[in-house]
Amino acid sequence: MSSSTPTIGVLALQGDVREHLAALAGAGAQAQPVRRAEELAEIDGLVIPGGESTTMSKLAVIFGLLEPLRERIRGGMPAYGSCAGMIMLADKILDGRADQETIGGIDMIVRRNAFGRQNESFEAAVEVTGVDGGPVEGVFIRAPWVESTGSEVETLARLDDGTVVAVRQGGLLATSFHPELTGDHRVHRLFTDMVRAAKELGRA
């Protein structure tokens, strides 16, 4: 893999932005917050953080970001969504608000708050395809899960009961859990490598 440093934005409307910026820096990326549509032109890839997906959706509309985000992702920009970010990258969601919109891009159906309320949050060791060095510690906080996927979506991780908690479709990556909260940068390194590869191919 080339040593080139990709510039990766973190959608900074709501959620755990600071933690993702730190994890991306630890994974070898140049990280910067993104709040305005014009800032999308400055980045090679984007992280959509955890937080509250309905609030994030509303703010993306208010800030005029939803359509520009869709355009960049349709154009091949890599993106990674954790927790609420997974919901934002799903083509379809269950248990969302009637007016809730997503960016889309991953051919999957995701169930919002599938694991229960905040007080039912938990941690689990998760083996993730493409991440070397053993399982990552998955932090699940009001997390979604993947109900079903299309034929082009690769399942990267399941819990012991078979629940799908990480997927990839081309340059798009999504996890139900929050790797940015653990100090383990391997998932962010996987995404940074995906962005670097897309940049070198002229797709980012």
**Could you give the residue numbers annotated as active site?**
83, 178, 180
**Sign of the dihedral through C-alpha 8, 22, 51, 129:** positive
- Are 49 and 8 a contacting pair, CB within 8 Å? no
Query: Residue 143: which of 115, 172, 101, 169 has the closest Cα?
Result: 115
Token readout for 108 is: 């999957």
Quickly tell me which residue has 């007016």 as its tokens: 99
- Which DSSP category does 153 fall into? P
Angstrom distance (rounded) from CA 75 to CA 86: 19
| DSSP state for residue 132 in the 8-state scheme | -
